[in-house]
Amino acid sequence: MNAYEQYMKEISQPMRTELTEAGFRELTSTEEVDEFIHSAEGTSLVVVNSVCGCAAGLARPAVRESLNNNKRPDNLVTVFAGQDREATSRMREYFVGIEPSSPSMAVMKDGKVLHFIPREDIEDHDVEEIVSNLSQAYNKHC
């Protein structure tokens, strides 16, 4: 691992921990992504994490707050754009017809995206709007 990769790994660790402490399982390889997609039962929330400011100030806080909803996904997983490139790329293959976006969030079931929140619906929105968007998706699909 070169100095840049080591630096990025160290700087991104708190961003990873923010989700794993909220109950998310990190998928860091293509094999983990495929295994999850093919074996997950019920609904899943997939968060494409990122080091950008809107992930830190909006996406991750909104995701964590949304889990206080009465209805919520059965499974919580995350991939990290720019860090776990292969895993993120593989997960995006399951987001059929959806442009790559990070951060982003997908409510999925049976390997299919039921609801997707791209970066443009995160950036320039407030946490409450994003929580509402997620909660509506949970109420409809979970």
Question: Could you give the residue numbers annotated as active site?
Answer: 52, 54
Q: How far apart are CA 25 and CA 52, in angstroms?
A: 20
Query: Nearest CA to 75 among 17, 138, 31?
Result: 138
Extract the tokens encoding 80.
């990290």
**Helices 85-94 and 30-39: crossing angle, nearest 10°?**
30
Extract the tokens encoding 142.
């979970």
Instruction: Judge whether 108 and 93 are in contact, CB under 8 Å.
Output: no
List alpha helices for 21-126, DSSP H.
30-39, 53-54, 60-66, 85-94
**Position of tokens 């039921």?**
114
